[in-house]
Amino acid sequence: MGEGNLLMLEYQWGEVDWRRDLTVPPETVVDGYLALPDAPGLGLRLNEDELMRRAVSERQR
């Protein structure tokens, strides 16, 4: 497992209002901690429909 002596880890949360839509299930914070899903692997999958909807085209860059 990771660092046993790690007391705090920062992560991005809420920078855009649609962030929760990027993964299934959405990231969940409980009592200030990121709740880890029970599913195999990372426990989540990318919402490919939302990723395609939010993709930036070459023209938009």
* Number of domains, the chain: 1
Question: Which residues form the domain of 50?
Answer: 1-61
Strand pairing category for 33-35 and 28-30: antiparallel
Question: pLDDT tens for residues 23-42?
Answer: 999 988 888 788 888 999 88
pLDDT at 45 over 90: yes
Residue 20: what pLDDT? 86
Query: In the predicted model, what is the mean pLDDT of the chain?
Result: 82
Can you give the pTM of this predicted structure? 0.59
DSSP, residue by residue, the chain: ---TT--------SSSTTGGGGEESPPEEETTEEEPP-SSTTS-EE-HHHHHHHPPPGGG-
Give the number of other Cβ atoms within 10 Å of residue 18's Cβ.
9
